[in-house]
Amino acid sequence: MIAPPTGQQFPLAHGAQRAVVVELGAGLREYHTDRGAIVDGFSPEQNPDGSRGQLLVPWPNRIAGAAYRFAGAEFRLPVTETRTASAIHGLTRAMPWRLTTSSAATVTLTLEMPPQDGYPFRLDLGARYSLAGDGLTVQVSATNRSDRACPFGAGAHPYLRLTTDGLIDDALLHIPADATLVTDDRGIPTGAERQVDRTGFDFRSPRPVGSLVLDTAFTRLHADDHGITRIALTAPDGGHGVVVWMDMSHRYAMIYSGDTLADVDRRRRGLAIEPMTCAPDAFNSGAGLIVLQPGETHRSTWGITPL
């Protein structure tokens, strides 16, 4: 039997909920309930195209020119997106994570990330996935095992969907955010924010996605009294839907409609709702950047709730 390209598969179950986490990159391959699929994932025989379901560590989105300056030194990373000459979505997506604990509804994977070209820092990483009555919860932790401070950010890349064969166009999208980041043609923020008022990106009240092309970072997020921000995608009749929620460590959310996916048949079949602790290119701009001191641990939590 040929092993899946994403390595070991770790199934989770709670009531009618089922999920599968994979060894490669500690990504989320599948999540569904008795109503059907919640995420637009991939089969065991496939690779996660378009960063599908992956964790983005130690930075989400792009680093411009695959280079940055930190603590007075300059660093150059491998270019992993040739179109923009950027380093995209971190370093751990193609690394095998190790199973440390598991139960029927919970799995924890860890990774001792060694120093690498352009990121000469050592991190101990953890990802805990758990199913409960309110859905899926994901906690990501990072501890700096270097003898000096290091830059850090975390994100995730789930694609959400409401039907197996329809587009996202008719779905109602609710993003409680007051601003988007202005970017150049590479998707790199210029440093300016644009208020969503009177623009096509104002989803503070639920409205259809329509034909809008989204590859957009939202900020000035509205959290509830418990510090949780919720972004919802619901059916036009309000009968069912899904929420991606994130704690206060996530100051940004990237929304991607999939219009540039290499597989044309998958475009606009799911909406990527990506929690991010920092902005794109934060290693250069400092926007939301986390600086981990030696021995310091950062934890961030997000999740998916079926409606």
pLDDT tens figures, 108-144: 999 999 999 999 999 999 999 999 999 999 999 999 9
Three-class SS of residue 173?
A: strand
What is the set of domains in the chain, with CATH numbers? 9-306 (2.70.98.10)
Q: What is the DSSP code (8-state) at residue 51?
A: G
What are the angstrom distances between the C-alpha of 299 and each of 65, 69, 157, 187, 205?
Answer: 28, 24, 17, 27, 30
Q: Are 55 and 88 in contact (CB under 8 A)?
A: no
Question: Minimal CA–CA distance to 138: which of 297, 249, 285?
Answer: 249
Report residue 304's pLDDT band, with 50, 70 and 90 as the boundaries: very high
pLDDT at 186: 95
Q: Note the pLDDT tens digit of each residue in 223-239.
A: 999 999 999 999 998 78
pLDDT at 1: 64
Mean pLDDT, range 161-184, rounded to an integer = 92
CA distance 55 to 270: 17
Q: Note the pLDDT tens digit of each residue in 28-52.
A: 999 999 989 999 999 999 999 999 9
Backbone Cα Rg of the chain: 18
Q: Are 13 and 130 in contact (CB under 8 A)?
A: no
